[in-house]
Structure 1
Amino acid sequence: MKINLFLVASTAGVVLAGPKWPSLEPKGHHWLAPGPNDSRSPCPGLNALANHGYLPRNGREIDINAIRTAVSVAYNYAPATFDDAFKEAVDFKLTTTGNASTIHLADLAKHDNIEFDGSLSRNDIFFGDNNHFDAKIWAMTSARLKLNDSGPEKLENYVTVEVAAKAQAARVVDAKKANPSFNASANQMRGGPGTTALYLTTLWDDKAGAVPKSWIRAWFECGRIPYHEGYQPPATPLTGETIRNMFKQVASFQAKAT
């Protein structure tokens, strides 16, 4: 099963004013909100890379080498982890750059190629906009992830695989009820749990065996890599196999819940 960076639900543009703490961010990679002419995608991971300058900040004319370098330096993924994802976007002929070997980030919003119904943080294309952060959709996801809850116990401040898996499954149930044109395509069926597996893998805290809630909020709500909340890339490179193993865990929890 191919799970890729472009199958993650996302914020396409930053809608919340993010903090400016360049001293806590890698040199040359401070966070900046995208401008009105910058291109952003339905993927928080890619958007954050552009907002921090690991990808071109304008989000335009991105090639496979730029993706390789960005995911390796920022998230410590093995450079070729998302090669198939990029090639998939090219094969679908999503690019509007005029160059078959490059994409604009917004090209990834074309429905049911890489993007799909039931996103964690935006509405379905049926309602008119599948490429921008939707506060109402995210509020439901955030509540299920209990992102606003905290407590003295360490794990009260983290999201486990089980909680994340159930939140994603619940979002799909909601989308099916609200959207009379909901498309349960093969892309959607693998992409839903795949997006959850991907954000868990990318933001995973090995010591806790879970993901800090504050990291999830920064990533989804602000399109920001959560350096100021303590994020550092893992010491061991992440790979497609890492994502697939997480996918299996997510799918297992969802199967138990049905």
Structure 2
Amino acid sequence: MSRMNYCCVLTITLIFIIRSNIGVCSTKHKYSIGRIPDAKHPFRPPGATDVRGPCPGLNTAANHGYINRSGIVGIDEVVKGLTTMYNIGEDLAVILAVTNTFFLGNPETGKFSIGHSSDETGAFMGIIPGGLNEHNTLELDASLTRNDYDLANGDNWSFNGTLYGMMHEVAKETSNGLYTIEAIAAYRRKRYQQSRRDNKKFFFDVRALHSYGAATFLYEVFPSAVDKIPSEEVISSFFGAQRLWDHSGWMHKPERIPYNWYRRLEPYTLDDIIQQAVAMYRIRPVEFGWNIASSGQFFPSPGFLSSDELDGDTAFCLLAESVIALAPTNITAAQNIYIKTHYPLVYQGLAKYSCLQQLAST
């Protein structure tokens, strides 16, 4: 099987899991307030061989040992680590762990890298998986604090202090320095405009909805449960951002949990992140699409919806259908077998979603 077909197979699998879990596993339940970290999870900077990548939340979890400090992690530990540390809903934690393992890691060993490719994940079909750094999979252009792949000689994972400073300024202008949904929506649009203008290979298709979902962590997950304020103190700690001594910019230090921090009271579920991602997008909508490398001219994605037409169900059905259109029909049957075998409750929920009924019947 070619790498391209392999990606199509795994993508459809993940679409199945994402959409079906909304109906099956999104029931909310209360947790007691918890101060994080506990004594078993002290902060420790990454060692010379430890892997870190573009996701501040995973980097922080690794620096405290809620997931493997090496940065090479497995599905079960990621689910446990994210639910324990952040009070991420189990459904969302499973989606994140499974997506990264199957799409960017090694399904046979059940491991993925939170950064660059690593021999420690093992080869799958003769290829060492690319890890979270792999470009144009789940990592797209116009990141909050990371460079575009083609504007930085392939370095799309390192912290960029200039970009963090831009985000900081937008938060000041928009929300008195707080990283609210309005501030992040405004900054996402600013980064989109910057990348689309400067990057001739700019790529931002419907998969960018994943980026909107990740950005919701700044105001939904990172604030302490004590005050729920997405302050500079909190956000800079999770992003590993530190002011230069003369206040002329920002430098990077290892990401860590803020002092006297308490996790969310209620789990942040899959349904929550979908609704929040769409809400953020609708505040400052942009066109999905990409630049033609030879000319830099922008080509909009077919079937682009206006912000008024985009809700959670529509957004993910659009994503599902765009992937299905690229895949041979026999691949959809293989995905049904996989989901039915490994996720029977998820499989039962597929009939609820009209855009996936075609898949469920193949």
* Fold conserved between structures, TM > 0.5: yes
Q: Spell out the pairing of 1:19-168 with structure 2 (5 A cutoff).
A: 25-60=37-72, 62-92=73-103, 94-95=104-105, 99-106=108-115, 107-126=131-150, 127-128=152-153, 129-146=155-172, 156=176, 158-168=178-188
- Aligned residues of 1:205 and 1:212 also touching (Cα < 8 A): no
- Aligned residues of 1:122 and 1:131 also touching (Cα < 8 A): yes
User: Of 255, 267, 277, which residue of structure 2 is paired with 1:223?
Assistant: 255
Q: Deviating runs (4+, > 6 A) in structure 1?
A: none
Superposed CA offset, 1:50-82 (max 9, x none): 00110111112x111101110111001123323
Match of 1:232 in 2: 262
Aligned residues: 226
- Aligned residues of 2:148 and 2:156 also touching (Cα < 8 A): yes
CA distance in 1, matches of 2:284, 2:229: 17
- Aligned residues of 1:157 and 1:213 also touching (Cα < 8 A): yes
CA distance in 2, matches of 1:231, 1:141: 23
CA distance in 1, matches of 2:233, 2:199: 30
- Aligned residues of 1:168 and 1:192 also touching (Cα < 8 A): no
Indicate the larger mover: 243-252 or 161-170. Answer: 243-252
Indicate the larger mover: 131-140 or 81-90. Answer: 81-90
- TM-score, scaled relative to structure 1: 0.77
Unaligned residue ranges in structure 1 (runs of 5+): 4-23, 150-154
3-state SS, counterpart of residue 89 of structure 2: coil
- Aligned residues of 2:74 and 2:101 also touching (Cα < 8 A): no
Superposed CA offset, 1:102-146 (max 9, x none): 112121110011211111111011022001112222222222123
Unaligned residue ranges in structure 2 (runs of 5+): 1-14, 20-35, 116-130, 241-253, 287-306, 308-362
Superposed CA offset, 1:148-175 (max 9, x none): x9xxxxx745332111211111111111
CA distance in 1, matches of 2:45, 2:217: 23
CA distance in 1, matches of 2:176, 2:42: 29
CA distance in 1, matches of 2:238, 2:228: 19
- Aligned residues of 2:224 and 2:262 also touching (Cα < 8 A): no
Root-mean-square deviation (CA, aligned residues, Å) is: 2.8
Match of 1:178 in 2: 198
Query: How many angstroms does 1:185 deviate by?
Result: 2.1
CA distance in 2, matches of 1:170, 1:76: 30
Indicate the larger mover: 204-213 or 245-254. Answer: 204-213
3-state SS, counterpart of residue 146 of structure 1: helix
Query: How many angstroms does 1:29 deviate by?
Result: 1.5
Which structure carries more relative contact order (alpha carbon 8 Å, separation 6+)? Answer: 1
Query: How many angstroms does 1:200 deviate by?
Result: 2.2
CA distance in 2, matches of 1:165, 1:206: 22
- TM-score, scaled relative to structure 2: 0.56
- Aligned residues of 1:32 and 1:51 also touching (Cα < 8 A): yes
CA distance in 2, matches of 1:179, 1:29: 41
Q: Which has the higher strand share?
A: 2
Query: How many angstroms does 1:218 deviate by?
Result: 0.7
Letter of the aligned partner of 1:85 in structure 2? L
CA distance in 2, matches of 1:215, 1:25: 14
- Aligned residues of 2:226 and 2:262 also touching (Cα < 8 A): no
Query: How many angstroms does 1:216 deviate by?
Result: 0.8
Query: How many angstroms does 1:217 deviate by?
Result: 0.8
CA distance in 2, matches of 1:162, 1:109: 28
- Aligned residues of 1:160 and 1:209 also touching (Cα < 8 A): no
Query: How many angstroms does 1:206 deviate by?
Result: 6.5
- Percent identical pairs in the alignment equals 23
Match of 1:11 in 2: none
